[in-house]
């Protein structure tokens, strides 16, 4: 799928732009409270937003995750297809963490102000997005070792990333809920708002 348009990630500091995008999410997910739509929207966006920094860090070629360096690809219905950074970043994990702190902090503050979601809840989603993206890299075992130091370098009061194993397969033990069930969809396989037994059974069914 090709993007219909590209936006600078600096738009995440623009409350009116964010409000319009969250409002547009109702076309995808149906009518819901603003904090629910905002949380679902951030769940999708955060995974895309952190991807260039995570992939570059794991590959040993860090790129700048600052909002003015990142471009977001979108399709007409408002979904995010991907993101890319237009700048290399000198340094390593500490520098990536510091730049992510500013980018994520700005986005979370704007979204919370617009939709009424709690910043702490949005921050937990960011942690889980980072953890998931680390698992999607070519060497997830090595990448997982970066998770806790990276989140510590970011700060912002983000919860520690957590992983579990389903057999030999690592998975994120989520600290966050995207609230997708609030709009009539099933809870995510790894949703923390289910019993541990139910979550483990669903993970085993999904991952084998």
The predicted pLDDT at position 24 comes to 86
Nearest to 82 by CA among 39, 124, 52: 52
Q: Which residues of the chain fall short of a pLDDT of 50? A: none
Q: Which residues pair with 21 in a beta bridge?
A: none
Residue with tokens 């979601």: 117
Q: Residues 200, 184: contact at Cβ < 8 Å?
A: no
- pTM of the entire structure? 0.94
The predicted pLDDT at position 30 comes to 78
The predicted pLDDT at position 56 comes to 96
The predicted pLDDT at position 74 comes to 92
The predicted pLDDT at position 32 comes to 85
């Amino acid at each position: 799928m090709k993007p219909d348009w590209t936006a600078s990630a600096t738009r995440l500091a623009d409350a009116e732009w964010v409000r319009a995008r969250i409002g547009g999410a109702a076309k995808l997910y149906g009518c819901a409270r603003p904090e629910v739509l905002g949380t679902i929207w951030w769940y999708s966006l955060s995974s895309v937003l952190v991807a260039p920094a995570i992939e570059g860090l794991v590959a040993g070629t860090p790129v700048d995750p600052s909002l003015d360096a990142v471009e977001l690809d979108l399709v007409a219905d408002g979904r995010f297809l991907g993101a890319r950074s237009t700048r290399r970043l000198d340094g390593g994990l500490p520098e990536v963490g510091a730049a992510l702190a500013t980018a994520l902090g700005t986005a979370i503050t704007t979204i919370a102000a617009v939709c009424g979601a709690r910043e702490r809840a949005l921050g937990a989603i960011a942690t889980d997005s980072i953890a998931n993206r680390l698992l999607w890299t070519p060497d997830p075992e090595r990448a997982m070792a970066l998770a806790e130091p990276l989140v510590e370098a970011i700060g912002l009061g983000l919860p520690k990333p957590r992983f579990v194993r389903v057999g030999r397969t690592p998975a994120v033990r989520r600290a966050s809920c995207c609230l997708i069930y609030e709009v009539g969809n099933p809870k995510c396989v790894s949703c923390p708002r289910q019993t541990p037994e139910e979550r483990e059974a669903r993970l085993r069914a999904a991952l084998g």
